[in-house]
Amino acid sequence: MPLIANIETGLFRIPLPVTLSDSTHGDIAAFELITCRIRDADGAEGVGYTYTVGRNGGAVADILRREIPALVEGREADDTEAIWQQVWWALHYGGRGGPVVLALSALDIALWDLKARRAKLPLYQLLGGFDPRVPCYAGGIDLDLSVDELLAQTDGNLAKGFRAIKMKVGRPDLKADVAKVSAMRQHLGDGFPLMADANMKWTVEEAIRAARAFVPYDLTWLEEPIIPDDVAGHVRIMQAGGVPIAAGENLRSLWEFKSYIASGAVSYPEPDVTNCGGVSAFMKIARLAEAFNLPVTSHGAHDITVHLLAACPNRTYLEAHGFGLDKYIEHPLVLEDGKALAPDRPGHGIGFDWAGLAKLAT
């Protein structure tokens, strides 16, 4: 097996074309991209990344630069599980979540990319393979848009080939949320997959009230109605709200997902490969959901996650995230009849424009 020779970390601040907002994170003018490039003794390279919504990326990059190399350099690059366990427990006392697990996620993605490249296989095939055509929705970050702006954005996404749409809710006035959900349902027609995302805005009682108000509009799911720490609250919303619940983008481990799934707190587990522990953890979460007969969806990093869902028989929708890397990668995500196509290039197939990113380095 090849040995890991070195790790190179990058930190970049990516400006957004327009300032985005949701119900909890405030205005988002840029996001931080943290990259991890692993080279083995034969000169082969694997690339991973994670991101933030604009702050704390320096802490993630610092862990990748200062802590992780001493733990992994000189180890066999194919031993992804052994390396994951080594890093998780070595950094557990001062980490166990937060920047540490984001750094571990980027590392793990890079290791799986390297492993698949050396095997000359697309990542989804190395992970077992199921179906490279993955249903995909457009994840809009659009809380402050007017109805006309929201519908115009939706028409733009439909023109790009999306056949499922997610919108933001969580305004101070529930009536305003209901009016916009109603407008979207009327615009899209009955049966068109429509999701709504509250970004943790409400209390449990507020979430139940909102969920009941959305029942007539046939949402595929209501996402993150309350804070991720309240498992019992999610159970109450599932029991009393009347709509399916998606959650998980702010859960940081397999064990946190186990608490949700075993408690009946979620309809659609929603891991993010860049913050749940990487490919290794994402696939375990997906298999755990499968054992409970639950469909798995995803958050963020669609260029990587398309491979993971392409290897999951219980997958539902891939999120095409509002923080896209299209300007900085060689091959953006391809849509066909509402489905994202997992590329057949070796590894995850993402080729970064490193020269272009260098201008945004921080």
Q: What is the pLDDT of residues 139-149, one digit of tens each?
A: 988 888 999 99
Asked if 3-120+353-359 and 125-341 have one fold, the answer is no
| pLDDT higher than 80, residue 21 | no
The predicted model gives 166-192 an average pLDDT of 97
What integer is the mean pLDDT of 199-218? 98
- Residue 26, pLDDT score: 75
The pLDDT of residue 27 is 82
For residue 198, what are the contacts with CB-CB under 8 A and spacing of at least 6? 23, 168, 169, 170, 207, 210, 222, 223, 224, 225, 226
pLDDT in tens, 102-148: 999 999 999 999 999 999 999 999 999 999 999 999 998 888 899 99
Q: What confidence tens digit (pLDDT) does each residue in 69-81 have?
A: 999 999 999 999 9
Which pLDDT value is given to residue 263? Answer: 98
In SS3 terms, the chain reads as CCEEEEEEEEEEEEEEEEEEEECCCEEEEEEEEEEEEEEECCCCEEEEEEEECCCCHHHHHHHHHHCHHHHHCCCECCCHHHHHHHHHHHCCCCCCCHHHHHHHHHHHHHHHHHHHHHCCCEHHHHCCCCCCEEEEEEECCCCCCCHHHHHHHHHHHHHHCCCCEEEECCCCCHHHHHHHHHHHHHHHCCCCCEEEECCCCCCHHHHHHHHHHHHHHCCCEEECCCCCCCHHHHHHHHHHCCCCEEECCCCCCHHHHHHHHHHCCCCEECCCCCCCCHHHHHHHHHHHHHHCCCCECCCCCHHHHHHHHCCCCCECCEEECCCCCHHHECCCCCEECCEEECCCCCECCCCECHHHHHCCEC
Q: Which CATH class is domain 3-120+353-359?
A: alpha beta
Predicted confidence band of residue 285 (pLDDT cuts 50, 70, 90): very high
Predicted pLDDT of residue 2: 85
48 pLDDT more than 80 = yes
Return the residue matching tokens 């006392």. Answer: 93
Calculate the CA 361 to chain-centre distance.
23
Distance (Å, whole) CA 205 – CA 294: 25
Clarify whether 299 is annotated catalytic: yes
What percentage of the chain carries pLDDT values higher than 90?
92
Sequence spans of domains, the chain: 3-120+353-359, 125-341
Question: What pLDDT is attached to residue 273?
Answer: 98
The rounded Cα 256 to chain-centroid distance in angstroms is 16
User: Measured between alpha carbons, how far is 25 from 195 in angstroms, rounded to an integer?
Assistant: 19
> What's the pLDDT at 97?
87
* Separation CA 246–CA 270 (nearest Å): 6
Confidence (pLDDT) at 24: 80
Mean pLDDT, the chain, rounded, equals 96
Of the candidates 166, 299, 307, 339, the residue annotated as catalytic is 299
Nearest by Cα to 220 from 317, 340, 338: 317
Sheet of strand 45-52: strand arrangement: 4-22, 26-40, 45-52
Does residue 96 have a pLDDT over 90? no
Contacts of 354 by beta carbon, 8 Å cutoff, 6+ apart: none
Domain boundaries 125-341, CATH class:
alpha beta
The model's pLDDT over 339-350, given as tens digits with 9 standing for 90+, comes to 999 999 999 999
Active site residue 168: yes
pLDDT of 95: 87
Residues 239/232, Cβ–Cβ less than 8 Å: no
Confidence of residue 187 (pLDDT cuts 50, 70, 90): very high
Whole-number pLDDT of residue 264: 98
Q: Identify the band that residue 22 occupies on the pLDDT scale cut at 50, 70 and 90.
A: confident
- 213's CB contacts (< 8 A; 6+ apart) are 174, 177, 178
Find the catalytic residue in 166, 168, 302, 348: 168
